[in-house]
Structures are given as structure tokens and as C-alpha cells.
Amino acid sequence: MTLRAQEDAIFPGAIGAVRHDWSRGEIRHLFALPFPDLMFQAQTVHRANFDPAEVQVSTLLSIKTGGCPEDCAYCPQSAKYDTGVKAEKLMSLDKVLAEAQAAKEAGASRFCMGAAWREPKDRDLDKVCAMIEGVRAIGLETCVTLGMLTGQQAKRLKASGLDYYNHNLDTSPEFYGEIITTRTYQERLDTLAHVRDAGIHVCCGGIVGMGESADDRAGMIHALATLPVHPESVPINLLVKVEGTPLSDGVRQTAIDPMDFVRTIAVARVTMPRSMVRLSAGREDMTDELQALCFLAGANSIFYGPKLLTTPNPAADRDRQLMDRLGLRAMPV
């Protein structure tokens, strides 16, 4: 199958051309547009492909917390930083399924399980496969994020029925080395290729607010929008500054203008018209008004429930109020 045919099968019925040949200059230009012009483009593209009142709702669970050997400077789960997150063992199947059931009852359509691993051991992968089977049986879509994968591991996950694999590029290729030294950008691209080749939907995005430049934000979107097939899901995280990490408030001043965050969402929407763009980490500290701008910019997915992996997310009732206030509905599975 050609890539385009593969993409048409992935995004059936979608309207509008999908381009993979974005230049960095074109993306810089989108970022530099007057805000109303950028928002108009984003709304136009969004409405051509989605119902703008629908938001996909996912719930996150950390199935293996802390003690990670990687040095991602943003991450509270790295063993290299003293953040107060304790290393735990892989959660039991029963506990995971009880959490998935609760997420289903609260209205989530997808259940995302995260593990603080550099890469899964095959023995652990068997356990995660059982979790995927159990969560699917509850009637939820499944997503896992377990670190780097081999092609063989991706195939095993696919065989267990996995719908999505999350693996982020995180930032631009140029800024990446300032943030992570224990794995390369290319290794991330390799894992994404294994996931794609196995026929699993790709969830891939990044983080904004780590001290990167405007050009790095353009570089990150460029890297995502020029992947051979766009990720079906693009999480845009606003850095959650955790004490003890090299990116905590006291160590590096990395305040970002919230409008630049909205612009990042809008440029993701314009350049990846058929992808779900997730307003991901960082909502706890956002006003309803800022989140409303993000939805206007084309975000159409959120994490729902009081916790992300280790840090807080808005309480479910605050999100229900927000959705009611904006007339938004949860997207059915």
C-alpha cells in the first residue's frame, strides 16, 4: 500500500489535502502570522475535518512509576533527580482493570497506560499485553507508553490488540540534546517507525515551555508534520515544572507566553489537519479562558481525571463544568 493509501485508510472520510513536505520556513511563517489569521486558518482546517464541539477524552494511569534510568530534564520519574516520586513495581492486572472500569464509568473512551522505562523487558511486555486485553474487554480503546520498542515488541503489542502507542519527539532536533542525553532523536524516530510498521496508531507530540526558542517550537512541529505518515494523535504538553528536576522553577526560568502555547496548538492543527491534537499536560494551571483558546485553535482531545502520571490534572467536575460552559461533548468511541 502507498503511504497515501495507508493514510486514507487511517483517516477515512477526512477532507483536505494532507502534506508531508512542509518546509521549516513555512511553519515559521505560520507561527509569525497575526493571531487572528492563524486562528482563522486553524478553525477552517479544524471544521473541514472534525465536529468542533467534540472532544476525545482519555484517562491516564501510571502502571509503573518512578526509578527511570533516563535523564529527561522535565521528568519527575527520572531516578537521576530527587523529586519525591518513589520507584514502584509494575501494577497488578486487577488494579489496572479496576482503574480502567472507573475511567469507563466516568466517561473516558481511551485508557492510556504509562511506564517509567527506557524500554520494556520481554517479561514485562507479557504483563502489559494482558492489561491491554483486559482493558479492551471493558470496552475502552487502549494506549500505552513504555519507552523504546524493537520491531518485534511492537508486533507483540499489536497482537494483543493495542490501538495506540505514545512516544514523543518532545522538542526540535536542535534543542533535544539540552533536554535528554540518554537516548537520541533518531532512536525515537526508529521506535515510531516500528510502531507504524506494526499497524498500531501513533500518538506523538512534544512539550512546550522548556526554555526552547520560537524556532525550536517550529522545529518540533516540522519534525512531526514531516513524518512519513502523520501521527493519529498529537499531544502538545505544557511543561509541568516539578521541583527537583533541572527544569523546575528555581533552576531555570522557562516561562512561556500562553499565546505562544496556543499558537503551537494552532500550527499543529494547520499542518496535521486530520490528526487529533491533544491539549495534554499543563491544564491544571490554565484558566478556562486559555483552554477555550486552545480548543478554538484546534485542540480536540484531553486527559480526563485528577492525575496525569504523577502530577495533578484538573478534577473531573471542573472539566465537566468547562465542557458545559463551552458546549463541548465527549467524542464517542
Q: In angstroms, give the least distance from the CB of 328 to ligand DTB.
A: 20
Using the rule CB under 6 A, give the single segment among 68-76, 124-132, 225-233, 248-256 that binds ligand SF4: 68-76
User: Where does this chain touch ligand DTB (CB under 6 A) — which range of 9-17, 44-52, 266-274, 303-311?
Assistant: 303-311
Minimal distance, residue 207 CB to ligand SF4, in Å: 10
Where in 103-142 is the site for ligand DTB (CB under 6 A)? 112, 114
Q: Are 211 and 204 in contact (CB under 8 A)?
A: no
User: Is 204 an annotated catalytic residue?
Assistant: no
SS3 of 68, please?
Answer: strand
Active site residue 129: no
Strands 276-279 and 54-64, sheet pairing: unpaired
From residue 104 to residue 133, the character string flagging contacts with ligand SF4 as x (rule: CB under 6 A) and all else as - is: ------------x-x---------------
Minimum CB distance to ligand SAM smaller for 300 or for 313: 313
Q: Are 26 and 19 in contact, with CB atoms under 8 Å apart?
A: no
Q: Which of 57, 120, 147, 223 binds ligand SF4 (CB under 6 A)?
A: 147
Write the burial class of residue 159 (CB in 10 Å: 0-12 exposed, 13-18 middle, 19+ buried). Answer: exposed
Question: Minimal CA–CA distance to 301: which of 161, 110, 102, 139?
Answer: 110
Rg (the chain; Cα; Å): 18
- Residues sharing a CB contact under 8 Å with residue 39, sequence separation 6 or more, in sequence order: 266, 296, 297
Give SS3 for 144.
strand
78 binds, among ligand SF4, ligand SAM, ligand DTB, none (CB under 5 to 8 A by kind): ligand SF4
Binding residues for ligand DTB, rule: CB under 6 A, are 60, 76, 112, 114, 145, 166, 168, 205, 235, 237, 240, 280-281, 308-311
- Residues forming the active site: 68, 72, 75, 112, 143, 203, 278
